[in-house]
Amino acid sequence: PISAILPPPSDNWFTAEMASRPDTDDYLSLFLNDVPLMDVRAPVEFSRGSFPNTENAPLMNDEERHRVGICYKEKGQDKAIELGHQLVSGDIKAQRIEAWKRFVARHPNGYLFCFRGGLRSRLTQQWIREAGIDYPLVKGGYKALRRFLIDSLEAQIESGEFRILSGRTGTGKTRVLKQLPNPVDLEGLANHRGSSFGRQVTPQPSQIDFENRLAVAMLKARHLNSGPVYLEDESRLVGRCALPESLKERMARSPLLILEQPMEERIGIIREDYVEGMYSDYVDRDGAEAGWLNFRDYLLSAIDRIRKRLGGERHQQLRGLMDQALLQQEATGETAAHNAWIQSLLQDYYDPMYDYQLGKKEGRILVRGGPKTILDWANKSSVA
Catalytic residues: 114
- Determine what percent of the chain falls in helix, strand and coil, rounding each to the nearest 5: 60, 10, 30
Pairing of strands 183-184, 256-259: unpaired
What is the distance between the alpha carbons of residues 273 and 71, in angstroms, rounded to a whole number? 53
Write the burial class of residue 297 (CB in 10 Å: 0-12 exposed, 13-18 middle, 19+ buried): exposed
Please say whether the beta carbons of 185 and 178 come within 8 A: yes
Terminal Cα-to-Cα distance of the chain (whole angstroms):
56
Please say whether the beta carbons of 278 and 349 come within 8 A: no
Pairing of strands 54-56, 365-369: unpaired
Instruction: Write the single-letter amino acid at 223.
Output: H
For 54-102, give the DSSP string: EEE--SS-HHHHHHHHHHHHHH-HHHHHHHHHHHS-HHHHHHHHHHHHH
What is the distance between the alpha carbons of residues 265 and 169, in angstroms, rounded to a whole number? 11
What is the distance between the alpha carbons of residues 186 and 181, in angstroms, rounded to a whole number? 16
Please say whether the beta carbons of 25 and 144 come within 8 A: yes
What is the distance between the alpha carbons of residues 313 and 174, in angstroms, rounded to a whole number? 32
Pairing of strands 256-259, 365-369: parallel
Please say whether the beta carbons of 138 and 111 come within 8 A: yes
- Find the helix packing angle between 119-130 and 90-106, rounded to 10°: 90
For 329-358, give the DSSP string: HHHH---TTHHHHHHHHIIIIIHHHHHHHH
